[in-house]
Structure 1
Amino acid sequence: MTGGASGTRSLPIGSILLWVVRVALAAEFLYSGYLLFSGGHTEQVFAEIGLGQWLRYVTGVLEVAGAIGLLIPRLGGPSALLLAGVMVGASATELFILANGGPVLPLILLIVCATLAWFLQDQTRALLGIKPPEDDEDDL
C-alpha cells in the first residue's frame, strides 16, 4: 500500500502498536536480565527461593534471549510465549514462596506477553510448521 506522491508505505496502526509493545517488553526484559546477572538484591531473592543461584542465571538467560527474540520478526511470537512462561514461574514464586514480594509486576508482564503471543501466533505456527486453523477445514 503506497501513500500519495511520495511513494511511502503506510503501516496499519495495529502493526505499529505491536512493535511498540515488542520494543517496550524487550527493554523491560533486557533490564531485568541485567539485574539478574549483576547480583545484589537478586542474589538475596534467589537465596530466599532456596533452589540456588543457578536459577538466577537460567532466568537471566531466558529473559535476555526472549528480549532479543522479540526484536527479530520471525521469533516474536515464540519469544513472547517463552517470556510468558517465565512470568508464570515468577508469578507463582512471588505468590507462594517469597514472603515480601508482590506478584503485580510479573502478572502484568504475563498478561502482556500472553496477549502479544496470541497476536503473533502466526509466527509461532510458521516456525513450528503448523497450518493455520482456517486451513484445517479443507481437510474434512
Structure 2
Amino acid sequence: MTALTHTTAAATTDVPTTGRRRAVNRAMWTAQILLGAFLLFASALPKFFGEANAIETFELIGWGDWFRYVTGVVEAAGAIGLVVPRLAGAAATALIGLMAGAALTQILVIEPAWAAMPVAMGVIFGLIAWARRGETRALVRSLTGR
C-alpha cells in the first residue's frame, strides 16, 4: 500500500468516526441539559421553597430541614455544573454519588420501588462522566498544577 493510498484510506475511515463522535456529543449535551433542568426545576427548587412533598419526604427520612436544603444545594450545583463544559464530567461524577444515596434512601427508608429512578439517572450520569472524562482530567490538572 502506498503512502497516498494509506492516507486516503485513513481519511475515509475517519469521516464516519467524526460524524459518530459529533452525534454522541450532541446526545450527551441534550441529556446534560435535560437532566440539569430536571434537577434544578423539579428537584432542587421544591426543596428550597418548602414544597409539601419535599418536606414530607425529608421528615420521613428523619434528618430535618437542614438535610433538605443541603440536598437542594447539591442538586442545584450539579445541575449548573452539567451545562458548563469544563465542569460537566465532574458534576456528573458527583451526581452519581447523590443518586446512589437517593437510591439507598428509597430502598431503606421510603419505598424500594422508587429506587429505579435514581438508579437510572445514576447510570446516565455515569455515561456522561465517561464521555466527559477528558474535560475532568484537564480540570483536575489545572487545579493541582500537574
Query: What TM-score comes out, normalization by structure 1 length?
Result: 0.80
Of 101-110 and 14-23, more deviation after overlay is shown by 101-110
Equivalent position to 2:61, from 49, 63, 66: 49
CA distance 1:122–1:100, change in 2 (3 Å): closer
User: Structure 1 residue 12: deviation in Å?
Assistant: 1.4
1:118 aligns to 2:130 (yes or no): yes
Mapping for residues 1-140 of structure 1, pairs under 5 Å: 12-31=22-41, 32-39=43-50, 40-99=52-111, 102-129=114-141
Identity of aligned pairs, percent? Answer: 36
User: Structure 1 residue 24: deviation in Å?
Assistant: 0.9
Whole-Å separation in 2 of the counterparts to 1:90 and 1:21: 20
User: Structure 1 residue 15: deviation in Å?
Assistant: 1.3
Whole-Å separation in 2 of the counterparts to 1:100 and 1:120: 31
Letter in 2 for 1:93: T
User: Structure 1 residue 72: deviation in Å?
Assistant: 0.7
Letter in 1 for 2:118: P
Whole-Å separation in 2 of the counterparts to 1:99 and 1:110: 18
User: Structure 1 residue 101: deviation in Å?
Assistant: 6.3
CA RMSD across the alignment: 1.8
CA distance 1:100–1:113, change in 2 (3 Å): closer
User: Structure 1 residue 56: deviation in Å?
Assistant: 0.6
User: Structure 1 residue 105: deviation in Å?
Assistant: 1.2
Letter in 1 for 2:23: I
- 1:52-80 per-residue CA deviation (whole Å, 9 max, x = no partner) reads 11111001001011101111110000011
Letter in 1 for 2:128: L
User: Structure 1 residue 14: deviation in Å?
Assistant: 1.3
Of 113-122 and 96-105, more deviation after overlay is shown by 96-105
Structure 1: runs of 5 or more not aligned: 1-9, 131-140
Deviating runs (4+, > 4 A) in structure 1? none
- 1:2-59 per-residue CA deviation (whole Å, 9 max, x = no partner) reads xxxxxxxx88111111111111111111121112112211111101111111111001
- 1:93-140 per-residue CA deviation (whole Å, 9 max, x = no partner) reads 00011147611211111111111111111111111119xxxxxxxxxx
Letter in 2 for 1:15: N
